Amino acid sequence: MLVLINKNSGGGTALKKWKRVYQKLNLNSSTKIFISESNSSSEEAILEALNKGKIDFLIAGGDGSINNFINQLIRLAEPEIIQEVKLGAIGIGSSNDFHKPFCIKNIVQNIPFKLNFDSAIHRDVGCLMFKKDEKLCKKYFLINASLGVTAEGNKFFNNPDLLLKHLKIINTQTAITYAAIKNILSYKNLVATIRSNGYSFEVNISNMGIIKSPYFTGNLKYDSNPSFKNGLFDIHLYQLLSKSKLIKLYNVLSKGISDKEFNKKYWQTDRITISADEEFALEFDGEVITTKHAEFSVIPGLIKVCTN
């Protein structure tokens, strides 16, 4: 097994958290540990492990670390190899949505983990194609994606001001709340065109979730229960919300209760396209890009993931 540790996760607190938990996890003595300095620095370690026939990977970091591994894996390995890879994780990042809902038996020192490789099951992977500088790019994600106020909030979280940098080190949830509220107060609805399930329609997007898991951005939760392996996204679209309504929506989603009063449309699909005249932020598993055109699709059962 190869453990990949992203030292920059959790606002730079990852190694401190790792030192608290690794001895309590009873990892096999043959386990190899690689500490990454950047998103690209672990590529050689992954390729070396694959060439040696090692297919169990444990990602110590946040949702972005898991996302980075999946994108590297798909770039480096053939589909038949990817199908055999098993993915576990230790949540030493900021949001750790991959691990939700948290299970008390899978928490040590307040840090969640999933490393029972015997329990790994195949999960769908989301595919994102987008245009950037006239080039067609492709990325992959496991948990969810978003547009609108959530994506803009993640963009700010990844590029923090001085106060947010400080809060990310001290208290993750406080940092997320600060980033969300500050972003809401400056957010303008996104005018876009959506194509899905044979229909095309114009929208003013306040927030939009394209999800395989209902959990996102700290303690927020969408009001649905998407399946990890049904080949479909759950879509949550909120339109034309004022700033006061967005703050109320944030409160509702933090409690995981019904959000039907917020001018919401909900549907399921295996493919959806969003385009706009101006560039917009698009978030996937905590990573953020900007584009004018994006298409999402589902790759059924691509990778095995530990369930506990």
CB 116 within 8 A of CB 90: no
pLDDT of residue 30: 73
Same fold, 2-119 and 126-299: no
Q: Is 30 left (phi over 0), alpha (psi -120 to 50) or beta?
A: alpha
Q: What is the pLDDT of residues 143-166, one digit of tens each?
A: 999 999 999 988 998 888 899 988
Q: What is the pTM of this model?
A: 0.91
- Measured at the alpha carbon of residue 190, what is the angle toward residues 236 and 203, in degrees to the nearest 5? 60
The residue extents of the domains of the chain are 2-119, 126-299
- Give me the DSSP letters along 242-300: -HHHHHHHHHHHHHT---TTTTEEEEEESEEEEEEEEEEEEEETTEEEEEEEEEEEEEE
Question: What pLDDT does 29 receive?
Answer: 67
> In terms of Cα–Cα distance, which of 4, 286, 277 is closest to 139?
286
Cis peptide before 101 (omega within 30 of 0): yes
The number of angstroms, rounded, from the C-alpha of 42 to the middle of its chain's C-alpha atoms is 19
Name the stretches of the chain with pLDDT < 70. 29, 38-40
**Distance separating alpha carbons of residues 209 and 252, to the nearest angstrom:** 15
- Per-residue confidence (pLDDT) for residue 95, from 0 to 100: 77
pLDDT of residue 194: 98
- The listed CATH number (3.40.50.10330, 3.20.20.10, 2.30.110.10, 3.30.420.40) that belongs to domain 2-119: 3.40.50.10330
Class of domain 126-299: mainly beta
pLDDT tens digit sequence for 188-227: 999 999 999 999 999 999 999 999 999 998 789 999 999 9
